[in-house]
């Protein structure tokens, strides 16, 4: 309950509303200060939103750039081959040097082991592909690798060539059908200038299984 | 200065001229409110400026009821600003929790004291006493609310009030402001 005493004190204190004697503030300049404070606060708010939005944009750009970089550097082999052939460069196909035939199950297991142990992967450059003839008299037809690899097919390994009507022209290559089931690949790890050296090498790999 | 509904409407619409009018009209009153808590003139002035800035920024939250409602709302903002400033440098929890018997003024004794003398006497009180006296007697807060505001116990608030009144009586008597000379 409020006492009379408190009421009297409150009334007297509240009655004092004039500025103290000797204190005469310049209200114009005070108001200017206050207005400046308003603008500062507003600018701060605007600045915050600008920083916020630009931060999000920068983050999106970074993520997009990183995504593009990852996509560019993780292309499937067939796409790399297509691109390389479009630029008239020797195609580089990663080949795991394993000559033996394996069942699907074993291959799966190998893949799993490959993922786990990260064995060294060797890249070979295919310079030319020679279909293996059954008779010794029949000369082997040499098909430039680019012709094979610029096929419309997505996977270069499944391109078929027709040797009855071989299409070997300087113009844009077209897919051909292959009769022979066996091919000899002359491969090397360098550029096309090393092709002769590599072809003389008796240890050229036979990548038959790729076309079986 | 009486603040009308039209003033508030214009302030809410962002009228700089009306804002200035309100600022100039209420500056001295609000300065006195802040000065009751913060004695130093420059600090009290800072408190007023911060209070007005906050009030104009939060004007949308204010609902006009009558002519005194804006002044009451603005006073609350000023008191909060003053308390925020005081909390930074004053420890309100220094006195003992011993509850003292209330020492009152004579029934009509306070009426003989001049208002400005009483105001000056309040400014001479120590910060803890002055704050509790202001909050309890002038702003009308309860001891529980004061305890929450100042982060002290309720009994501390009560003790501070008793000591504040006792000290105020002494000050008024010593300076011969007319009190006790009946």
Confidence of residue A132 (pLDDT cuts 50, 70, 90): low
d(CA A35, CA A138): 98
Element (H, E) at A6: helix A4-15
Q: Work out the pLDDT band at A17, boundaries 50, 70, 90.
A: confident
Residue A127 in this model has a pLDDT that exceeds 60: yes
Distance (Å) from the alpha carbon of A75 to chain B's nearest alpha carbon: 57
How close, in Å, is residue B87 to chain A by CA atoms?
23
Which of B35, B115, B123, B161 to mutate against chain A (most A CBs within 10 Å)? B115
Cα separation, A115 vs A121, in Å, equals 11
**pLDDT for position A38:** 79
Chain segment B12-25, per-residue pLDDT in tens: 888 889 999 999 99
Report, as an integer, the average pLDDT of A8-25: 87
State whether A5 and B27 contact (CB < 8 Å): no
Residues 6+ apart with CB under 8 A from B151: B87, B92, B93
The pLDDT assigned to B4 comes to 86
* Tens-place pLDDT, residues B121-144: 999 999 899 999 999 999 999 999
Determine contact: B23 vs chain A, CB below 8 A: yes
Describe chain A by its helix, strand, coil percentages, rounded to 5.
50, 10, 40
Q: What's the rounded Cα separation, in Å, for the pair B59 and B7?
A: 11
Å between A20 CA and nearest CA of chain B: 8
- The first and second tokens of residue A65, run together, are 């750039």
Residue A112 has what pLDDT? 55
Report the pLDDT value the prediction gives residue B136, as an integer from 0 to 100.
94
Residue A83 tokens read as: 């691109």
User: What confidence score (pLDDT) does residue B47 get?
Assistant: 93
Q: Is B41 on the interface with A (CB under 8 A)?
A: yes
The list of chain B residues with pLDDT below 50 reads: 180-182
Residue B27 at interface with chain A, using a CB cutoff of 8 Å: yes
**B136 contacts B147 by C-beta, under 8 angstroms:** no
Which residues on chain B are in Cβ contact (under 8 Å) with A3?
104
| Helical axes B154-174 vs B143-150, angle rounded to 10° | 100
3-state secondary structure of A93: strand
């Amino acid at each position: 309950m409020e006492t009379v005493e408190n009421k009297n004190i409150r009334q007297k204190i509240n009655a004092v509303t004039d500025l103290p004697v000797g204190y005469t503030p310049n209200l114009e300049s005070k108001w200017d200060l206050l207005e400046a404070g308003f603008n500062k606060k507003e600018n701060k708010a605007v600045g915050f939103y600008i920083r916020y939005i630009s931060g999000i944009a920068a983050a999106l750009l970074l993520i997009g750039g990183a995504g593009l970089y990852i996509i560019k550097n993780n292309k499937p082999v067939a796409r790399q081959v297509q691109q390389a052939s479009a630029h008239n460069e020797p195609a580089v196909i990663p080949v795991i040097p394993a000559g033996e035939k394996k069942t699907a199950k074993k291959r799966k297991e190998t893949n799993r082991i490959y993922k786990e142990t990260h064995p060294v992967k060797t890249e070979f450059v295919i310079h030319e592909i020679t279909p293996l003839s059954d008779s010794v008299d029949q000369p082997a037809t040499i098909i430039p690798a680019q012709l094979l690899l610029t096929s419309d097919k997505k996977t270069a390994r499944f391109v078929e060539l027709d040797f009855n009507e071989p299409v070997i022209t300087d113009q844009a290559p077209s897919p051909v059908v292959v009769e022979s089931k066996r091919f000899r690949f002359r491969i090397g790890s360098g550029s096309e200038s090393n092709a002769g050296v590599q072809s003389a090498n008796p240890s050229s790999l036979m990548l038959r299984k790729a076309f079986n | 200065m009486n603040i009308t509904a039209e003033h508030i409407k214009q302030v809410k619409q962002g009228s700089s001229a009306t804002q200035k009018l309100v600022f100039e009209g209420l500056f001295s009153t609000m300065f006195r409110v802040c000065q009751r808590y913060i004695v130093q003139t420059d600090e009290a002035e800072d408190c007023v400026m911060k209070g007005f800035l906050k009030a104009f920024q939060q004007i949308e939250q204010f609902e006009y009821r009558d002519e005194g409602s804006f002044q009451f709302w603005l006073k609350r903002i000023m008191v909060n600003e003053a308390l925020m400033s005081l909390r930074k440098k004053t420890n309100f929890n220094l006195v003992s929790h011993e509850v003292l018997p209330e020492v009152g003024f004579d029934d009509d004794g306070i009426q003989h004291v001049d208002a400005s003398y009483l105001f000056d006497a309040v400014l001479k009180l120590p910060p803890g006493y002055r704050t509790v006296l202001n909050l309890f007697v002038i702003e009308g807060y309860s001891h529980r609310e004061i305890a929450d505001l100042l982060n002290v116990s309720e009994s501390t608030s009560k003790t501070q009030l008793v000591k504040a009144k006792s000290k105020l009586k002494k000050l008024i008597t010593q300076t011969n402001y007319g009190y006790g000379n009946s």
